[in-house]
Structure 1
């Protein structure tokens, strides 16, 4: 299988003198500065460019929030906070990182089932929006608010009665641990009024990692229609309608970048009606992977090169314990290769190899039977599309190897 997807990663990360450059720095120099491998590197210029291009494509009036779970590195979050309109967190630790950026707490939301009592208190005390995921969680939040002498700001996370077609990960529709079933929401809204909570609006999230504009358009159509129906039962006017995200990025051969134009046209068609039916409500798109996924790489070093019964293996000091998604164990049904390169040897004679890590499991596979420039011990292996769901989505404690570092360049 070829190392290059439809859109070669070097479209974003240029090469000079046969060496990959990140943030204007040659990979070999960057590795020397970091002082160790493996490491993750994120390019701030690419992060900024992605937000700029997305804002240019979407109609005016759409607010953009960053879902920190995609990459909660504090330096990345700080950079993103200066580019987007809000942040979404999924834990108390992420909340502390978000608050440290100086983002207005009213622009921070907290989603996720199973919030602890401590997390509820942190969220209420800081004045952020709690995306309530169940009727029990609503009552718990109200109790915590009473104990603190504060009026919790709450939004209802809705589990819609539809799901995003062709989604890499379905987060809504059917039975789900996420959100409150749409048919139960009217009663929940009535209860919010009885409890005199500060009602913010709806968070309707249906899926992620989608590359088909027509599927996202259909989901948006249904999301707006559902929001209008539910708003008739709201205890007060909506301030926010979060329509989720779902925008995907290409990882594998045969995949193309998401065409934003038809999605933007459809949103522009909806906004006048939304302004009429939900006056004063901000329409929010919340994205994680789409904003940061293509701006990061994972870099490890070849520590051995061996041939076993005619097949060549590059054994590296990195692996699934650092980058579970690249190994195929973060949701892939049939394993596919992420785009990979030999970062200090981008051209020259090529060979078919498998890139593996140091772990005692055959699952420790970063690239299987890939056509790469002939590598030597000491060369740098680069895994592209690694800006999202990398280090913090990986079992770093497995076999007790050292953790990689992260840098923003």
Structure 2
């Protein structure tokens, strides 16, 4: 038997049948597989952030989950949206004005740059070459470009699941070259919007995040002084993690907020008039999502029991262990009809794809389950449907629905 990750706090202590937004899971599962996103959980996360970071803007990084119905719900609750492609920009513009949108990511095509410039979005520049193209396109369009410099910081977020700084990177301008680029943008007549500094993601260590945010503030001040200009905004990145696996502990967000408040109270004079933002995706929406998939078959092979479901890695690549994890570990998973029921057997939950990689639960302890029962995979609100190979082997796409409310 192998352990599963901890249930999100909103589902801990449920008696018997899994409920989502106050209704039994079966109510949302007329068609499976289906992702169910509880907007009430997202709203509660945003309220918690506001309480812990009253001095900081909140941006939603829509790469975590770009479902239009979810964006419709989240957009009024946040100060800005961060996008990483022309497609995401189009979705963001449907719910927010361009001035509340920032566009990061390497390899932006001219058409994407032009769309951002036309709509007044801020481009987080990743290189000198991208800056040259953005300035040229802005001149052709007759607009004043809103440009920020994404910095490849000389620090990394200790303990992060994905490190974004302290090393050679396709993301951002090296810290040593950032001030010169800022000066160039200002001299060219651009509307310089500040810095975007992102050191890592999926961190659960509050102390490491506090340490990195302090280093980020110091770096922003040093670069601003070298450029001779105060930044209107410093985007501190995000990196807030969620507990996916056995042994993971939730991030102490309130401690992070207190640490940042101390750092901002003593920040350098060049940053005194700056606004600050944190961009979050996973932490806001991951635990609000549940993936429901129905058991199609139950079989035994060489003494091991398999529950074969109608959905798998084609919808939930990360839960199958094929989205960046080095060692495969089990996401939180349960039998929806007996979420807190005693374990009766050890089974492996596998999807319908013709590959041994399609495994949602590896030798997990569950109550006895039969064909027709629902399996619930938790933490499905981020990097699920849009981050998975839905077209692989031609199986149907999963449905996605937003339920509940603030």
Q: CA deviation at 1:236?
A: 4.0
Note if 1:83 corresponds to 2:81: no
State whether structure 2 residue 359 is matched by structure 1 residue 365: yes
Residue number in structure 2 paired with 1:212:
205
The 2-side partners of 1:349 and 1:183 are apart by 56
Total equivalences in the alignment: 402
Q: Distance in 2 between matches of 1:252 and 1:237?
A: 42
Which ranges of structure 2 fall in alignment gaps of 5 or more residues?
A: none
- Which whole-Å deviations, capped at 9, do the CAs of 1:189-209 have from their partners, x for residues lacking one? 121123211100000000000
- 1:232: Cα distance to partner? 1.3
Partners of 1:65 and 1:261 in 2: CA distance: 18
Question: Aligned-pair distance for 1:217?
Answer: 1.2
Native 8 Å contact 1:355 1:367 kept in 2: yes
CA 1:213–1:14 in structure 2 vs 1: closer, same or farther (change >3 Å)?
A: closer
Matched, 1:286 2:279: yes
Equivalent position SS for 2:18: strand
1:388 is aligned to: 382
TM-score (norm. length: structure 1): 0.95
Which whole-Å deviations, capped at 9, do the CAs of 1:185-235 have from their partners, x for residues lacking one? 122112112321110000000000000111111111110110000001336
1:54 to 49, 58, 65: 49
Counterpart contact for 1:345–1:375, Cα < 8 Å: no
Give the alignment's Cα RMSD to 1 decimal. 1.5
CA spacing shift, 1:342–1:226, aligned 2, 3 Å: same
1:184 maps to 2:177: yes
Check the 8 A contact 1:192/1:235 in 2, yes or no: no
* Preserved CA contact (<8 Å) 2:2 2:362: no
- What is the CA–CA distance in structure 2 between the aligned matches of 1:282 and 1:87, rounded to whole Å? 16
How far apart in 2 are the matches of 1:186 and 1:3?
49
CA distance in 1, matches of 2:67, 2:291: 14
* Partner of residue 117, structure 2: 124
Distance 1:397 1:4 in 2: 28
For structure 1, the 5+ residue unaligned runs are: none
Counterpart CA distance in 2 for 1:156 and 1:61 is 22
* 1:277 Cα deviation from its structure 2 partner: 2.7
1:14 offset after TM fit, Å?
6.6
Query: Per the alignment, do residues 135 and 303 of structure 1 end up closer, same or farther by CA in structure 2, a change over 3 Å counting?
Result: same
- What is the match of residue 237 of structure 1? 230
The CA distance in 2 between the partners of 1:324 and 1:51, in whole Å, is 26
Residue 333 of structure 2 is matched in structure 1 by 340
Q: CA deviation at 1:18?
A: 2.3
Aligned pair in 2 of structure 1 residues 287, 49: CA closer, same or farther (>3 Å)? same
Does structure 2 conserve the Cα–Cα contact (< 8 Å) formed by 1:14 and 1:20? no
User: Could you tell me how far apart the structure 2 residues matched to 1:21 and 1:264 are?
Assistant: 32
TM value normalised by structure 2: 0.96
How many angstroms apart in 1 are the aligned matches of 2:233 and 2:157? 21
CA contact (8 A) 2:342 2:366 kept: no
Distance 2:307 2:229 in 1: 60
